[in-house]
Amino acid sequence: MDFTFTDDQLLFCKSVQEFLQQEVTPAAVRKSWELDTGRSDERWQQLVNLGVTAMLVPEQFGGLGMNELDFVLLAQACGQVALPEPLVETALVATPLLATLAQRDSRCASLLEKIATGERKIAIGHAANNLVCDAHVADFLLLPSGNQIHLVPRDQVKLVAQASVDPSRRLFAVEWSANDETCLVSGPEGVALLAATLNRGALGAAAQLIGLAEAMVQMTVKYTSDRHQFGKPIGSNQALKHHMANCAVKIEFAKPTLYRAAYTVSKRPVHADFAVSHAKVAAGEAALLAAKNSIQSHGAMGYTWECDLHIFMKRAWALDKFWGHAGFHKSRLHQWLMNPNAKIGADKTFGEQVA
Amino acid sequence: MDLNYTAEQIAFRKEVRSWLEQHVPARPLQSFDTKEGFEQHRQWEQTLAKGNWGMVTWPKEYGGRGCNLIEWLIFEEEYYRAQAPLRVNQNGIFLLGPTLMEYGTPEQKARFITKMASGEEMWAQGWSEPGAGSDMAAIRSKAIRDGDEYVINGQKVWSTRAVFADWVFCIFRTDPASDKHHGLSFIFVPLNAPGVTVRPIPQLNGLPGFAEIFFDDVRVPVANRLGNEGQGWNIAMSTAGFERGLMLRSPARFQETAKRLVALYREHRNDIVDLSIEDAVVKSFMDAEAYALATYQTASRLMSGGKIGPESSVNKIFWSELDQHMHETAMSILAARAELLPHSSAAGDVGTWLDGFLFAQSGPIYAGTNEIQRNIIAERMLGMPRK
Ligand SMILES: Cc1cc2nc3c(=O)[nH]c(=O)nc-3n(C[C@H](O)[C@H](O)[C@H](O)COP(=O)(O)OP(=O)(O)OC[C@H]3O[C@@H](n4cnc5c(N)ncnc54)[C@H](O)[C@@H]3O)c2cc1C
């Protein structure tokens, strides 16, 4: 029993985090809003060079052969800077799905190799979301159709852009028709893979939500230390201190649920529904509270387009509802817990473990 | 990260479980806030000590087993699962014990730890005073040096279990010219010393769970001082770290309450019309689970050389509010019967929920109020301006 990350995991995360903090400043995020695609090819290539798109690609396809647990801290770091590029959806959600199919499907195998090198981009749809993020910059789309999953070149679909409140998010309704040629998998296996995809999507969203919450608290601590009223920093007032302390409590207790979810998805996927839903609900609550308390602590400044806070707030509001809203995940928890056979109790935090 | 128990850890769990199955009293003991109940609990402590289960994390020389923190968590999980009695000597074993090991002289360790572990000597904590609650640095009770002794005058209040305990560990002002957190020292006083008067204070449930202690020219040897003169504040803060941090409230306690809450809800599900109740039950369960996960995370970190920091304040807020929420939810399920004392004939299965509900009201107050914890988090963890 050891609930810590390895030094390697922490080190890798730190190097990527440093890059992100340096490159993906609020000013840089605003700049990407001006771009047609909203996405910086240059930044994507830099991320590829750091190896992050290759992390979950199996070694035999030119990747690093890592897992969701290795990636979860990076996903959190993406949230901390509100990264506009779809790194989490690509590396943590689409890649493992392709990897599952790559052994028997050469299309998936070759696509994986090219995702690792940055030559190809992928977007992923799911019934939980309706819309597909970043479909416009993808070469291929992974799309569900009933119990099937299809791999469709972008030039075979019609994209209808849907504007989000978060100017960083680029969402599309996808019009397409399924055919045998594009179908990768169907039947019970398709259902299982779609379910696993939902869990990875929710895991990635939860990680980003926690990162976003941390960023909002950090911004607010700085703002309330600098801004003076009544001859002293507004942050010296207890009401504001307690707003931030409440966020810290939510964040600190969401984190271990996130890390358990990442572990469970990578090591015991059959038990992942419960762990992932717990993390998604806890992370969503932390991020929503951080948004609410942060805007309040900023006063009118927080209600402006100019203040960087909305970069993070809007992402939090969006991701809280993406890959399953709170109602969806809570209902999974309810079902699990209300089952008379549910194995619960102090000795079963990590499931039933007997010799 | 490896969230599997090792074969040794699983074997340890089995060993704990089977010992508890054989030894936990079949019928619940009386409240330790009654004289009889206190003695029953003292005997239980002695039973634990005889099996070397009193404080599993302590070194073997003090009656422990030298267990690491993961094993401690396993022990606690089994302990609450078995519904074993609450620990009457918790102020001693969870708070003073670890502090003694860090700051005590070899003589003090030999003298005090062993008897604490064996259940022979029960401890109370004497820090708060009428004028020093949240502002503990306002302590005014004095211990003035006179040769090899201190002469103590003043008053402590809210001292848990002091009515029946044998000793109290206190913070006194040893430098009368000092103020705030300077000039304080950490001193042990036997509660039967001449000049000590203990006045019981009934709590919400009517039982004398804490007491006021008056000191009137009480003399104790200088050897009863822990650490250096004037070091009292720092030592107290490290004790408070244990109190809020890891040891005082292990997650198993809340997980077992959550489990009982789920059972209570399932039983009454068909009569419940308030749709928010099921959500509160699930939330309680998830939060108890999150507290366990966070504790495993902290334990793992401490075992690989980390130190406990401001997370002890975050913990304290979380568990105390969780406990309140769980009991509020149980009261909502019991509805009109919730107010009934368990011996009333119409009480049905109200059980210990009301008792727990009353006690849960004190969680956000003791061990440093939650408002004070929020100040600490904002200032020391997040770096917000003090003034
Ligand atoms: C069940 C129980 C057991 C206890 N056991 C012991 C024991 O064994 N030994 C012992 O020494 N003490 C014990 N205490 C006392 C406990 O430590 C104090 O109650 C606590 O420190 C608060 O002090 P107070 O009660 O004087 O409240 P006060 O300090 O008067 O506080 C009253 C209210 O004002 C708020 N407040 C005060 N100052 C601030 C501030 N700066 N910012 C914001 N809000 C503030 C508090 O948060 C609280 O809500 C126990 C208390 C309880 C309830």
| Residue pair B129/B184 in contact by the 8 Å Cβ criterion | no
Structure tokens of B272? 């419940």
For ligand 1, whether the C-beta of B160 sits within 6 Å is yes
Mutate to test the interface with A, among B317, B326, B374, B375 (most CBs of A within 10 A): B374
CA–CA dist B32, B207 (Å, integer):
9
Helix (H) or strand (E) holding A225: helix A187-226
CATH class held by domain B249-381 = mainly alpha
Please count the other Cβ atoms lying within 10 Å of the Cβ belonging to residue A134. Answer: 23
Contact yes or no for B9 and A330 at CB 8 A: no
Query: How deeply is A15 buried, as exposed, middle or buried, from its count of CB atoms within 10 A (0-12, 13-18, 19+)?
Result: exposed
| pLDDT value of residue B372 | 97
Query: How deeply is B356 buried, as exposed, middle or buried, from its count of CB atoms within 10 A (0-12, 13-18, 19+)?
Result: middle
- Among A residues 53-82, those touching chain B with beta carbons less than 8 Å apart: 69
How remote is the CA of residue B102 from the centroid of ligand 1, in Å?
A: 26
**Mean pLDDT of the A93-118 span:** 97
Contact of A231 with chain B, judged by CB distance below 8 Å, is answered with: no
| pLDDT value of residue A210 | 99
The fold of the B123-230 domain, in CATH, is Butyryl-CoA Dehydrogenase, subunit A; domain 2 (2.40.110)
Contact of B160 with chain A, judged by CB distance below 8 Å, is answered with: no
Give the residue among A88, A83, A81 at the shortest CA–CA distance from A216: A81
| pLDDT value of residue B136 | 95
Give the residue among A46, A67, A47 at the shortest CA–CA distance from A57: A67
The alpha carbon of residue A136 is apart from the nearest alpha carbon of chain B, in Å, by 38
Q: One fold for both B123-230 and B249-381?
A: no
Please count the other Cβ atoms lying within 10 Å of the Cβ belonging to residue A72. Answer: 28
Statement: the pTM of the whole predicted model exceeds 0.90: yes
Return all residues near B160 (Cβ < 8 A) that are at least 6 apart.
B91, B124, B125, B209, B210, B366
CA–CA dist B4, B153 (Å, integer):
54
Contact yes or no for A330 and B251 at CB 8 A: no
Q: How confident is the model at residue A270 (pLDDT cuts 50, 70, 90)?
A: confident
| pLDDT value of residue B244 | 59
Query: How deeply is A328 buried, as exposed, middle or buried, from its count of CB atoms within 10 A (0-12, 13-18, 19+)?
Result: middle
Helix (H) or strand (E) holding A215: helix A187-226
Structure tokens of B52? 């070397």
pLDDT, tens only, B83-142: 999 999 999 998 999 899 989 999 999 999 989 998 899 999 999 999 999 999 999 999
| Residue pair B200/B132 in contact by the 8 Å Cβ criterion | no
Pairing of strands B210-221, A228-229: unpaired
Please count the other Cβ atoms lying within 10 Å of the Cβ belonging to residue B24. Answer: 15
How remote is the CA of residue B366 from the centroid of ligand 1, in Å?
A: 6
pLDDT, tens only, A293-323: 999 999 999 999 999 999 999 999 999 999 9
Give the residue among B230, B115, B212 at the shortest CA–CA distance from B154: B212
Angstrom distances, CA of residue A302 to CA of A296, A311, B102? 7, 11, 48
What is the value of ipTM here, to two decimals?
0.95
Ligand 1 atom nearest residue B362's Cα: 53
| pLDDT value of residue B248 | 76
| pLDDT value of residue B183 | 97
The helix/strand count (H/E) of chain B reads as: 13, 8
- Among B residues 298-317, those touching chain A with beta carbons less than 8 Å apart: 299-301, 303-304, 311, 314, 317
CA–CA dist B220, B225 (Å, integer):
9
- Among A residues 317-336, those touching chain B with beta carbons less than 8 Å apart: 330, 333-334
Residue A321's Cβ-side half-sphere holds a number of Cα atoms within 13 Å equal to 9
> How many CB contacts within 8 angstroms connect chain A with chain B?
174
How remote is the CA of residue A297 from the centroid of ligand 1, in Å?
A: 28
| Residue pair A24/A30 in contact by the 8 Å Cβ criterion | no
From chain A, pick out residues whose CB is under 8 angstroms from the CB of B76: 346
- Per the listing, tokens 């979860």 go with A72
The alpha carbon of residue B15 is apart from the nearest alpha carbon of chain A, in Å, by 12
For ligand 1, whether the C-beta of B127 sits within 6 Å is yes
CA–CA dist B132, B260 (Å, integer):
38
| pLDDT value of residue B307 | 81
How remote is the CA of residue B151 from the centroid of ligand 1, in Å?
A: 27
Contact yes or no for B374 and A246 at CB 8 A: yes
Structural domains in chain A?
Answer: 189-348 (1.20.140.10)
From chain A, pick out residues whose CB is under 8 angstroms from the CB of B256: 345-346
**DSSP state, residue A146:** T
- Among B residues 59-78, those touching chain A with beta carbons less than 8 Å apart: 70, 74, 76-78
CA–CA dist A205, A260 (Å, integer):
15
**Mean pLDDT of the A27-40 span:** 97
CA–CA dist A231, A289 (Å, integer):
28
Residues of chain B with pLDDT below 50 are: none
From chain B, pick out residues whose CB is under 8 angstroms from the CB of A333: 282, 286
Contact yes or no for A3 and B81 at CB 8 A: no
pLDDT, tens only, A158-175: 999 999 999 999 999 999
Question: Across all residues in chain A, what is the average pLDDT?
Answer: 97
The alpha carbon of residue B189 is apart from the nearest alpha carbon of chain A, in Å, by 37
| pLDDT value of residue B309 | 79
**DSSP state, residue A318:** H
For ligand 1, whether the C-beta of B357 sits within 6 Å is no
For ligand 1, whether the C-beta of B369 sits within 6 Å is yes
How remote is the CA of residue B125 from the centroid of ligand 1, in Å?
A: 14
Contact of A4 with chain B, judged by CB distance below 8 Å, is answered with: yes
| Residue pair A54/A336 in contact by the 8 Å Cβ criterion | no
Task: For ligand 1, pick from B90, B139, B158 the residue to mutate: most ligand atoms within 8 Å of CB.
Answer: B158
Residue A149 scores a pLDDT above 90 = yes
Pairing of strands A228-229, A232-233: antiparallel
The helix/strand count (H/E) of chain A reads as: 12, 9
Angstrom distances, CA of residue A191 to CA of A246, B99, B106, B244, B342? 39, 56, 66, 46, 51
Return all residues near A218 (Cβ < 8 A) that are at least 6 apart.
none
| pLDDT value of residue B159 | 98
Phi/psi of residue A170, each to 5°?
-120, 110
Query: How deeply is A226 buried, as exposed, middle or buried, from its count of CB atoms within 10 A (0-12, 13-18, 19+)?
Result: exposed
| Residue pair A223/A215 in contact by the 8 Å Cβ criterion | no
For chain B, domain boundaries: 7-88, 123-230, 249-381
Catalytic center residues of B = 243
- Among B residues 229-248, those touching chain A with beta carbons less than 8 Å apart: none
For ligand 1, whether the C-beta of B315 sits within 6 Å is no
